[in-house]
Amino acid sequence: MIAPLLAASSRADAPVVVELGPGTGAVTAALRAAVPELRYLGVELNPAMADHLAARFPGIDLVRGPASVLPQALAERGLREVDLVVSGLPWQAFAGSDGTALVSAIAAHLAPSGAHTQFTYRWSRWAPPGRRQHRELQRFFGHVDLSPTVWPNVPPAVVYTATLPRPDGV
């Protein structure tokens, strides 16, 4: 499942990559191995996961808090644009307006040639929150691609890749 998430990381020579919900760092490790020169910013809500990630990757730029702090975290670092946003956040956890605000913020801070990748479990894309997520991605991005099912992942997953950001959602 890592390959579709990382495919968009080759869009820049030294990309700025944001990972929302890095958890224990499986994707983080793959990102750092694939693109050693990247500038990485992780945003993790769970304190135990954040502690684990900080111990696993000493010196990593990590914000401990909800994904909604993304605009503030970028501003504090002098970053106006990022090249790739990777997320495995469970869309079911976001109420309608919270999800809209998050996708809008991602689109607003993504470079015109950037990409937002979001993995989700295959079954959840048909649930109401999954359908809402797809609509939000289509609203804020000019192109949304869905990967084939990644069957070896347990549970099976899919990856959305959203490009051509439209921050105003039109």
User: Could you tell me if 158 and 88 are in contact, meaning their C-beta atoms sit under 8 angstroms apart?
Assistant: no
| Confidence (pTM) | 0.90
Identify whether the C-beta of residue 76 lies closer than 8 Å to the C-beta of residue 54: no
Residue spans of the chain under pLDDT 50: none
Q: What CATH number does domain 2-165 carry, 3.40.50.150, 2.40.50.140, 3.30.420.40, 1.10.10.10?
A: 3.40.50.150
Amino acid 6: pLDDT: 61
Please state whether beta strands 82-87 and 62-64 pair in parallel, antiparallel, or not at all (unpaired): unpaired
CA distances, 127 to each of 122, 130, 147 (Å): 10, 5, 18
The pLDDT assigned to 21 comes to 95
Q: What is d(CA 2, CA 46) in angstroms, rounded to the nearest whole number?
A: 22
Give me the pLDDT at residue 7, please.
Answer: 62
Q: How far is CA 101 from CA 2, 31, 67, 133, in A?
A: 26, 26, 10, 12
What count of residues does the chain have? 170
Which pLDDT belongs to residue 73?
Answer: 98
